[in-house]
Chains A and B, each alone.
Chain A
Amino acid sequence: MFALLILVPLAGLILMNLPIGAALKRLAFPLALALTVAQSLLIACPAGVAWLGGGTLDHYFNFSLGIDGLSRVLLLSVGIVVFTTLLVGRAMLVGPRRQFNFVSLMLLAMIGMNGTVMLSDLFSLYVFIEITSVSSFILIALTRGRDSLEGAFKYIILSAVATIMMLASVAVLLMVAGGTSFEVIAAALKNSPHSLIARIGMGAFVCALFIKGGLVPFHGWLPAAYSAAPAPVSIFLAGIATKASGIYALVRLATYVFPQSPAVNNVLMLVGAASIIIGAVAAVSQSDIKRLLAYSSISQVGYIILALGCGSPLAVAGAIFHLFNHAIFKSLLFVSSAAVEQRTGTTDMAQLGGLGSRMPVTSATSAIAALSTAGIPPLAGFWSKLIIIVALWQAGFHAYAVIAIGMSVLTLAYLLVMHRKVFFGNVGEALAQTREASWGLLVPAVVLAAITIGLGVAMPYVVNTFILPISRIL
């Protein structure tokens, strides 16, 4: 019954939009919220996954869906981040119509992301990535401001290029391999006399995923889209959208489809290292919180790709752990940014300062997220970065390990500077009346901070029970 993760949000979306009265529309938000909680609980609990795996629904619809350890990590992230996004959207978006449209679009995006992580066919993967992308374009432009329309337009244009590359790749691979399932393509890449053409096709698909994931040198759209989008949409984009549609697919293809090849690994490591460096260096010079966090996202995603390119089971475990951690701490940082925006009306650091005394909870949760991002023990981000760096060192990639450590220090520097500018010092006259953020922002912030601390403290159990088994299976 894995199909439930696609069909239930779809049924909810259709029901909510039927012209049969306002009552259903009023129920949209609590129902969508309940859906994310149900998904998170079902996926976190092995009995829930076993229940989803039973039944005949998938067979009835002829759906080829499956959930393995990697899918579980992503589905759990989808549940948590969409839950957060819905709460922040409720608190920050103005007007019932806009809030209702937001909930509908989040359900559409959920369908796309849930489908993406449960499929094992390249063409199906493309179709569900497109669902997430189309929902994201509309979400970015939801407020119809000049900046948000510009951000959405940049994303559409680069996504269109990615779409063309994906379709061309699927066509080439279909010709060479005779099918588009991961299994068939993996066999063609290994054994076909035309494996060079298959590799070119696969390379085009990977480049498209670099665009979707916002990796260097295809990251041009990301800072504009993240910073111009409404606050809840920034959380959604940074927390899960680019991960489900770009990074997850890369991890899946690199581990299931590509034969282990030094050439592929080198490309992944180069792109990963370039993303880490360029993202971190660009973040240093930003004066807007959301733009800084956008560049920071590019840098942190670089760690995932660098580890993936390393290829050892420990490195892949680190990549998957960092994928989940980044979804949590980056969402938390954007929730903090949303809280500041809600109370002060700006995210320009030059106009902020001294908010720590006015917004103590936001300040504390933001500090937890910043320290986790920079890799400070005992928070979750420290362990995933440590695993990645140890794996790189063990595999003999000493230069990459040094880059990873050096850029972590830079990450700590720019995030502490951001925190100092926003929360430390004396509060200005204009901000003297600032109050703590509303409950809609505090609840997800506290939940995400608790996950960040909890994962860090329970790290040996989490890694041994969940993360290492996934990387060994891969």
Chain B
Amino acid sequence: MISALDILLLAAMVAASVFTVMTARLLWSVLSLASTSAFLTMIMFKLNAPLAGVFELSVCAGLIPAIFISTIGLTQRLSPEALAQRRKDKLKRFFFLPVIIVLTGLVMSQVPLAVDFAMPAPAVGQDVQTVLWNSRTIDLLGQIVVLLAGAFGVAVLIKGSKND
């Protein structure tokens, strides 16, 4: 049963994600991305998936924005002229977005897909440690290495460039 709160949370998440890709300022974009993750976390808790929610909150709303913000700290501000041009052009890039959304909706409504399958049970009752350490240890290690690679890239490309 979908409640008014569910719709409100979904709308807030979509609005935050749209703002993330449309704003001209990187810092606002990162904060909006963190808000998107926070709304998604609430949705996950409502869907009885606390494990996914905890991860979304800690990694996507916490760690990743922290890396983004530290990266932004190493960049330079846009000139006022470039910023004005960026604001002028930003809507052009999204011209086809509504068309794509409507077309996708039309196509999907015509495809005879039976989507009445039972969702796999969320990992309720299993603590985070059990799931990560007993079932998905290799994924945990892999994600850590992805983050390490990203942080290394920031250091090599942006910090290194400043040193040069």
Which residues of B have CB within 8 Å of A134?
146, 149-150, 153
Taking the closest CB of chain A, its distance from the CB of B67, in whole angstroms, is 12
The segment out of A171-179, A215-223, A363-371 that lies at the interface is A171-179
Which residues of A have CB within 8 Å of B137?
61-63
B48 close to chain A: CB less than 8 A: no
Contact flags (1/0) for A189-205 with B, using CB distance below 8 Å?
00011101100100000
Closest to B137 in A: A62
Interface size class of B (residues with CB under 8 A): 20 to 34
Closest to B158 in A: A144
Known: A176-B117, A178-B120, A194-B117. A108 touches B138 (CB 8 A): no
Taking the closest CB of chain A, its distance from the CB of B24, in whole angstroms, is 19
A142 close to chain B: CB less than 8 A: yes
User: CA–CA, A131 to B142, complex, Å?
Assistant: 7
Known: A64-B138, A124-B142. A105 touches B156 (CB 8 A): yes
Known: A62-B134, A62-B137, A65-B138. A97 touches B160 (CB 8 A): yes
Which residues of A have CB within 8 Å of B153?
134, 137-138
Contact flags (1/0) for A127-155 with B, using CB distance below 8 Å?
11011001101100110100000000000
Which residues of A have CB within 8 Å of B15?
none
| Interface SS majority for chain B | helix
Taking the closest CB of chain A, its distance from the CB of B38, in whole angstroms, is 20
Which residues of B have CB within 8 Å of A193?
114, 117
Which residues of B have CB within 8 Å of A174?
120
Most buried by A among B145, B146, B152, B160: B145
Pick from A111, A138, A142, A175: contact of B119, CB under 8 Å: A175
Closest to A144 in B: B161
User: CA–CA, A305 to B88, complex, Å?
Assistant: 45
Q: Are B149 and A63 in contact (CB under 8 A)?
A: no
Q: Are A10 and B138 in contact (CB under 8 A)?
A: no
Given A62-B135, A197-B113; 9 other pairs, CB 8 A cutoff: A6-B141, A62-B133, A104-B152, A108-B149, A127-B138, A175-B119, A193-B114, A194-B115, A196-B113
B residues adjacent to A (C-beta < 8 A): 113-115, 117, 119-120, 133-139, 141-143, 145-146, 148-150, 152-153, 156-157, 160-161, 164
